[in-house]
Structure 1
Amino acid sequence: MLKRSQRLTADALPPLPARPGVSYIMPVLNEAEHISAAITTILDQEYAGEKEIVLALGPSTDETTSIVTTLAAGEPRIHIVHNPAGDTPTSLNLAIAATSHPVIVRVDAHSELTGDYTDTAIAVLRDTGAANCGGLMLARGRTPFQKAVARAYMSRVGLGGPAYHTGDEPQESESAYLGIYRREVFDVLGGFDSTLRRGQDWELNLRIREAGGRIWFDPRLEVTYWPRTTWRKIVQQFHATGIWRAELIRRHGTKNSWRYFAPPLLVLGVAASLIETLLQLSGATHTWPRFLRHFTALVHVPSLAYVAGIVAAAGQARDCGRRERAWFALVLPTMHLSWGAGFLRGLLTGAGTAADRSR
């Protein structure tokens, strides 16, 4: 049982100053395409309080290090810490350790903030007594493929579940996209779990809730997010995400939502359907009793229903061109099956040192 001084309930958190200083933390690795825009939207925040940006720089193999170093040389509010390992949770913890303000805002190098993001976030923290809050991930794309991925992110048929993907009314939440944290979260809980390469946000939010803290979703907190740009990178990203979600299941069991089991069940259903089809084509089922052949044929029903659902979802995407719609129909099962296959692997073997190679 945590002592009152270790609780994160609204009445245990001290009042925020009128204009609390804000520290923005960002893990950075191979983000040459997006990093300048991400930092610019932080520097352009309309918030009148003190601001600092702490960039946790991994061993990038593109021009990221050069870009970041140049930006920091001309802007005293930008600070750099180095993480030779390059993993996200360690980068986040190193960045947090270098901050000095009572509000800590996590920002992704693929993200862009609206001008009033910080003002709104401070108001939400103050009005709700939340220990952490977050808003809506507005996925966007430039090419037909990236636009299709963005559409899948924002669709209930795609990622579904959390309000920060699909939008909803302000409410308490299981987790928060990126996160705007009271410093007391890290004083009490000690930061992100460095053994989790993915899902570290969800795990920290679990500990916040267990400490009595409130996680709050507010759709006014909009963050533009630019998804991966190739099919291969989407496969790699979602496979790694599935592996680490399974690791969270292994560690925290039923504290996870049951919706996380849908993709692995889909993979098992598709595999069963393929096996039954191969048995039919090989003639192995011809000697089976008729009732057994009819019974095993039912294994195709879930897969056929899923295909019908994907076709229907793509058909309803009428506000885009044919190429984007076609990619959308391919991206949806790519996300689901990659995630589900990764989950099954992680559930059986644990995550080990699995990494997201899409970066």
Structure 2
Amino acid sequence: MPVLNEEGYLERAVRTILAQDYAGEKEIVLALGPSRDRSSDIARGLAAEDARVRLVDNPERHIPIGLNRAIEASSHPVVIRVDAHSELTTDYTRAGIAALRAHDAVNVGGVMRAAGRKPVQRAIARGYNSPFGLGGGAYHGDGTAGPAESAYLGIFRRAAIEAVGGYDPGILRGEDWELNLRIRRAGGTVWFDPALGVTYWPRGSFRDLSRQFLATGTWRAVLVRRYRGANPWRFFAPGALVVALAASAGVGALQLIGVLPRRSPWSLLHLASAGYAAGIGFAVTRLSDPPQRGPRDRALSGAALITMHVSWGAGFLRGILFGGGRTVDTSRA
């Protein structure tokens, strides 16, 4: 588990891991970044309380580097990649290892079920739990068991990670998808099992959500530049949306100041804005997990979807043009 500024979630996440009903030996290795809150103190307290909790330093703070260090410090033939913002169901390890064996897979993952404690976080969770928010990846819905392109919080055979050289330290977002692509290209099976469930606590503000998705979109573009056709088409949609909305806004501004007539073929570009607004309106009526309670919740849901789409798309365009550079997820800072 990589850890950076997670004092509100860390202890609960670790305790759900220690409470797994798996009968075999287990340990949890926390890769501690330079947190500005009490995360490191909490981690040290957990390690002092339970010898199964071990600590390694991750001064660079980046997730893939921390994961590699934690994996290197671990000692068992199965590695489960976990997150401080997540809580595993009690049977997660037991059921996941059974699925590894049953399907001769090298990585197994389940459903990421986002949840929220306050109205904005619950609205963001609704976006995560809906194909209207994140585009319908298998682990964002119940789906059907079978081979998958990636896995959320994968349950890996250690040998498969080592065979492909671990996480790429140069990929700062999308590192799980990239690792799973290399594993699949090496002949390994990545398996999705909807019986596995994880509660995920997303960012709690639209500002942090925007920062997170800007970085995610940027690094997805880096992966598109590197792997091209291996990327599903849905990863291109937010960037195309931002281009269309920007074109519509530009034409609208030129029409407003009289450079373009109100009635011109360029006005057809406004169909993009109108269509997107209608799509958001329709999507909001379909969101139900967590339940919406009145107009305020629906407005927050719409704002969450728009923030996800536009931030991701803007980051994607930046990444296509300029690469990843030093872009990091500042929502964790």
On whether the aligned pair clears a TM of 0.5, the verdict is yes
**Aligned to 1:181, what secondary structure does the other structure show?**
strand
Name the structure 1 match of 2:133. Answer: 158
Q: Is 2:52 the partner of 1:77? A: yes
In structure 1, distance between residues paired with 2:90 and 2:162 = 29
1:40 equivalent among 7, 12, 15: 15
2:284 equivalent among 277, 302, 314: 314
1:246 equivalent among 196, 214, 221: 221
Name the structure 2 match of 1:192. Answer: 167
Query: After superposition, what is the alpha-carbon deviation per residue over 1:233-277, rounded to whole angstroms, capped at 9, x for unaligned?
Result: 000000000000000011111111111110011000100101111
In structure 2, distance between residues paired with 1:79 and 1:315 = 46
Name the structure 2 match of 1:144. Answer: 119
In structure 2, distance between residues paired with 1:188 and 1:174 = 18
**Aligned to 1:233, what secondary structure does the other structure show?**
helix
Name the structure 1 match of 2:267. Answer: 297
In structure 2, distance between residues paired with 1:239 and 1:59 = 22
In structure 2, distance between residues paired with 1:79 and 1:169 = 36
Q: Is 2:328 the partner of 1:355? A: yes
Task: Return 106-115 or 293-302, whichever deviates more.
Answer: 293-302
Query: After superposition, what is the alpha-carbon deviation per residue over 1:36-92, rounded to whole angstroms, capped at 9, x for unaligned?
Result: 000000010001100111111111000001100011011011110001111101100
Matches within 5 A, 1:116-127: 116-127=91-102
**Aligned to 2:150, what secondary structure does the other structure show?**
coil
Unaligned runs of 5+ in 1: 1-25
Query: After superposition, what is the alpha-carbon deviation per residue over 1:120-164, rounded to whole angstroms, capped at 9, x for unaligned?
Result: 001100000111110000100011111110000011111122110
Name the structure 2 match of 1:58. Answer: 33
1:100 equivalent among 75, 81, 88: 75
Unaligned runs of 5+ in 2: none
Q: Which residue identity is paired with 1:315?
A: T
How much identity, in percent, do the aligned residues show? 54
- Radius of gyration: which is bigger? 1
Query: After superposition, what is the alpha-carbon deviation per residue over 1:194-222, rounded to whole angstroms, capped at 9, x for unaligned?
Result: 00111111111010110010000001110
**Aligned to 1:320, what secondary structure does the other structure show?**
coil
**Aligned to 2:27, what secondary structure does the other structure show?**
strand
Aligned 8 A contact 1:160 1:166 in 2 = no
Aligned 8 A contact 1:270 1:303 in 2 = yes
In structure 2, distance between residues paired with 1:212 and 1:141 = 38
Q: How many residue pairs are counted as aligned between the two chains?
A: 329
In structure 2, distance between residues paired with 1:114 and 1:41 = 7
In structure 1, distance between residues paired with 2:300 and 2:83 = 25
Aligned 8 A contact 2:167 2:175 in 1 = yes
- Please, what TM-score do these two structures have when normalized by structure 2? 0.97
2:299 equivalent among 319, 326, 338: 326
Kindly state the Cα deviation for residue 187 of structure 1 after the two structures are TM-superposed.
2.5
Name the structure 1 match of 2:156. Answer: 181
Q: Which residue identity is paired with 1:119?
A: R
In structure 1, distance between residues paired with 2:96 and 2:278 = 41
Aligned 8 A contact 1:314 1:325 in 2 = yes
Aligned 8 A contact 1:59 1:83 in 2 = yes
Query: After superposition, what is the alpha-carbon deviation per residue over 1:82-108, rounded to whole angstroms, capped at 9, x for unaligned?
Result: 011111011000001011111000110
Q: Which residue identity is paired with 2:59?
A: P
In structure 2, distance between residues paired with 1:314 and 1:357 = 28
Question: What value does the CA root-mean-square deviation take over the aligned residues?
Answer: 1.1
Aligned 8 A contact 1:125 1:132 in 2 = yes
**Aligned to 1:358, what secondary structure does the other structure show?**
helix
Q: Runs of 4+ in structure 1 displaced over 2 angstroms?
A: 315-319
In structure 2, distance between residues paired with 1:98 and 1:221 = 26
